[in-house]
Amino acid sequence: MKVAVIGSMGVGKSTLFDLLARGHEGKARGYISGVGLAEIEDPRIEKIREIAGSKSVKKPRIEIYDFDGFGKLWKEERVGEILNELLGFDLLLQIVGDFPPFEPESDFEEIDLRLILADLSIVENKLKRIEKEKMAHRATEEEAVFFRKLRDHLSAENVLSQLHLTEFEKNLIQGYSFLTVLPRVVIFNSSEERVEEDLPDSLIARLKERGYPHFRTILPIEREIRELEPEERDEILAGYGLKPGFVAKLKKAILEALGLITFFTTAHDELTAWLVREGTTAKEAAGHIHTDMERGFIRADVVHYDDLLGCGDFKKARETGHLRSEGKDYVVRDGDIIFIKFSR
């Protein structure tokens, strides 16, 4: 999964990137000024490790990219090139300035409008092609009606993720890389003076309408205290009127926005946490571990974290029926511990 951190120049993108992707992995390129991996903490891991007796742990990670296209590298004459760089991302993390000289509503809207206009340009070009293709009977009026619907929706400064599409419409939209379809999480980077003031009601209403989770903190403070003991961190945050756990809550919101759940495997003294999309079957989950497991899938022995914790060990979980065998169509739940049986 690839997450792009976007925002205007000077709003704190790089600060958030440092908080999420400590120990940067990749090199800067093009409009990407930083590439890193954000490790996902999960309090269940330690409990499972104790019960399983695992010696090592592998936590899941997501790719984080510091995207400078809307910041210092923004140029009107390169709009198409810049926006094309966002294609292939799964989620946008938009940082909004809530400190002078930024005003949160206008700063949010500036980036938001650029994304909307990018999608609108795609739709308008498609409508021009449809009109030509209709004359040659290669396009239908139904297609034209649908893309006019998208045009009108975007022209009203709405995002495409708000639309509820029919199966026919979903087929028509396939193959298009619309940016406003992507899930988005918004972070307001506030100053010490503003952090306790209310954000504009109209801005909060817009975020709720679109289903964008949002957070508010002072990013430089979060970065300064990250190496301190939890008690010290909490005390300092309280002094600024901030709640603890910003980074952990943000990572959780990212997973939820992406529709990801976590399942666990234990093998060879190693406990591994895996991220998969909700609705993933046991056979598909096996493929995330290794393609051979998916090809030779026989069954999955499954116990949920809550049941394992209640039983205390895997033997009792099996005796009580909580550790059970499931077939290839079993839908994996968040918190499942899975043992894949497969033929080599």
CATH number at residue 313: 3.10.20.30
Q: What is the pTM of this model?
A: 0.92
pLDDT of residue 77: 80
Reference 177, options 258, 123, 114, 129; nearest CA is 123
pLDDT at 105 over 80: yes
In a domain, 329, yes or no: yes
What total of structural domains would you count in the chain?
Answer: 1
Q: For 235-245, b where at least 16 C-beta lie within 10 A, e where not — what string?
A: ebbeeeebebe
In a domain, 113, yes or no: no
pLDDT at 23 over 80: no
The model's pLDDT over 293-312, given as tens digits with 9 standing for 90+, comes to 999 999 999 999 999 999 99
The confidence band for 109, taking pLDDT boundaries of 50, 70 and 90, is very high
Q: How far apart are CA 5 and CA 43, in angstroms?
A: 26
Contacting residues for 89 by C-beta, under 8 A, at least 6 apart: 2, 3, 4, 65, 182
Q: What's the mean per-residue pLDDT of the chain?
A: 94
pLDDT of residue 22: 78
Task: Please name the amino acid found at residue 22.
Answer: R
In a domain, 60, yes or no: no
In a domain, 195, yes or no: no
Q: Which helix (H) or strand (E) is 258 found in, with range? A: helix 246-258
In a domain, 322, yes or no: yes
In a domain, 20, yes or no: no
In a domain, 285, yes or no: yes
In a domain, 243, yes or no: no
DSSP string, 118-149: HHHHHHHHHHHHHHHHHHTTSS-HHHHHHHHH
The model's pLDDT over 202-250, given as tens digits with 9 standing for 90+, comes to 999 999 999 999 999 999 999 999 999 999 999 999 999 999 999 999 9
Q: How far apart are CA 207 and CA 210, in angstroms?
A: 5
Q: How far apart are CA 213 and CA 24, in angstroms?
A: 26
Residue 97 phi, psi (nearest 5): -75, 125
ω into residue 101 within 30 of 0, thus cis?
Answer: yes
In the chain, what is the greatest distance between 2 CA atoms, to the nearest angstrom? 71
The confidence band for 136, taking pLDDT boundaries of 50, 70 and 90, is confident
> Other CB atoms closer than 10 Å to residue 247's CB: what's the count?
19
pLDDT at 74 over 90: no
Domain that holds residue 333: 279-342
Strands 61-67 and 2-6: parallel
